[in-house]
Structure 1
Amino acid sequence: MGGATNITVPVVSKIYCFSSQTTLMVRRRPRLVNGGGFVVMNSNQNLVFKVDGCGILGIKGELILRDGDGAPILFIRKKGGVVQALSAHNRWNSYLMDYEEPSKLVFSLREPKLRLLTKNSIKISNDTDGKNKDWSFEVKGSFIKRACTINDRRGNVVAQVGLKEMVANKDFYHVVVQPGYDQAFVIGVIAILDNIHGESTRC
């Protein structure tokens, strides 16, 4: 059992994989005051991630995940074009930031346009060429209700989103990331879910 915590599953980078379970607190920023998006704190109340969306970047369907010091980690963009318009899914691509510019594709998320079809859950692929239609992770449950999980292909829970006890406010919620999984990847997925559901990262 002890060996399980030594397994790391990096998607963005192994530097964001920790050997113990981590609880992160997400707090949405007011659109009118500082452009929206959200910040992520650890249990010591230290800022570990920040997400900028349309209110700051000024472009719909684009997000930037930053570390606690403000350095960009991921550039996330909703794919457009005629092919995408005709597809049954919306696709979001997430790229590593290299010298302030998007570089390598690290994961893509497929969101079914008809979410009423329960079998069409949100799937995430971490292939690097973007051509593989297979998936490695999926989102289950309701992000709007702050009751969802990110699971791997074997059904293991990677991270769980929930409301903080005693706080009846969806602007402040927690994300529990299991040992060995990539926290930057998890927050990148949550940034996309936030945008899909028209929350803090949308204009």
Structure 2
Amino acid sequence: MLRFLKSLSRTVHEERCQDPEPRPNNGDGDGDGPTSLTVWRKSLFVGCSGFTVINSDGDLVYRVDNYGGRRQQEVVLMDASGKPILTIFRSKQKLNLVDNWLVFEGDISSKKQKPIYRARKDMDFLRAKVKRLARFYRVPYDETLGYVIEGSYVNRSCKVLDESGNIVAEIRRKESVTKGVSLGLEVFDLIVNQGFDSSLAMSIVLLLDQMFL
């Protein structure tokens, strides 16, 4: 499956390069267009749940390996070599119906380590038509320095918007260039616009996966 995804990512990238309009780059930081990543909701290790993320050159970029099932108190986003980049921690609070998720740099090595982002599942039912899924804020808490996620993670159709309403990242269904091949919901695209950190965008994917399992 991984070999097929690598081939698929390279094929799509080659087709985009023939298009005169700006298209996603390969995720290495070069180029003027957004970054296109293929996300596979599966770990490469047997007995693990997690994620495997490759760029449009077919190179492994990020990985997540969970040995205790999908729903975890801690989820670690690693680079291709296994080095922790970000850690997502579920913070359960008493008398609070909504869990908070904290995002830390690297691995959580100290209880004194402070989070860099905080996320919360949106529970504003009065605005259900907006389809707002979650809020993602920088720490210290400030609504003017955060992001809003809208759409449907279940259907792999989400947009991440900044405080000005600009789209900084998107989750989209993966289109196969091979006839008769259905990728389903376990494989999808993560499009990261220029100026937004792709690892941060992937952490939002992990947050949504924990929120909407």
Q: TM-score, normalised by structure 1?
A: 0.75
For residue 175 of structure 1, what is the aligned residue in structure 2? 190
Q: 1:86 aligns with which of 84, 96, 103?
A: 96
RMSD: 2.8
- What percent identity do the matched residue pairs reach? 25
- Equivalent residue letter for 2:72: K
One-letter code of the match for 2:100? R
Give unpaired runs (5+ residues) of structure 1. 1-15, 199-203
Q: How much has 1:132 moved relative to structure 2?
A: 3.9
Matched, 1:55 2:65: no
Give the unaligned 5+ runs of structure 2. 1-27, 177-181
Shift of the alpha carbon at 1:66? 0.5
Identify the residue that residue 134 of structure 2 maps to in structure 1.
Answer: 122
CA separation in 2, counterparts of 1:104 and 1:151?
24
Residue in 1 aligned with 2:22? none
Q: Distance in 2 between the 1:78 and 1:137 partners?
A: 18
Larger RCO, structure (CA 8 Å, separation 6 or more): 1
- Alignment partner of 1:193: what SS? helix
Instruction: Give, as a single letter, the amino acid of the residue that structure 2 aligns with 1:65.
Output: L
Matches within 5 A, 1:4-19: 19=32
Query: Separation in 1 of the partners of 2:61 and 2:163?
Result: 27
Aligned partner letter, 2:155: K
Q: Deviations over 1:172-203 (max 9, x none)?
A: 111111011111100001001111121xxxxx
Aligned residue identity for 1:77: F
**Deviation of 1:33 (Å):** 3.0
Match of 2:122 in 1: 112
Task: Map residues 1-203 of structure 1 onto 2, 5 A cutoff.
Answer: 19-29=32-42, 33-53=46-66, 55=68, 60-82=72-94, 85-87=95-97, 89-97=98-106, 101=109, 103-113=113-123, 117-118=127-128, 121-127=133-139, 129=140, 131-132=141-142, 136-166=146-176, 167-198=182-213
Query: Residues 179, 91 of structure 1: CA spacing in aligned structure 2 closer, same or farther, 3 A cutoff?
Result: same
1 CA distance for matches of 2:173 and 2:51? 15
Task: Summarize the Cα distance change of 1:23–1:133 in structure 2 as closer, same or farther, 3 Å threshold.
Answer: closer
Q: Kindly name which structure, 1 or 2, has the bigger radius of gyration based on alpha carbons.
A: 2
SS of 2:38 mapped into structure 1: strand
Distance 2:50 2:63 in 1: 8
Distance 1:59 1:165, change over 3 A: closer
Number of residue-to-residue matches in the alignment: 176
Q: Deviations over 1:66-112 (max 9, x none)?
A: 11111001111111131xx425x3210001126x6263411111113
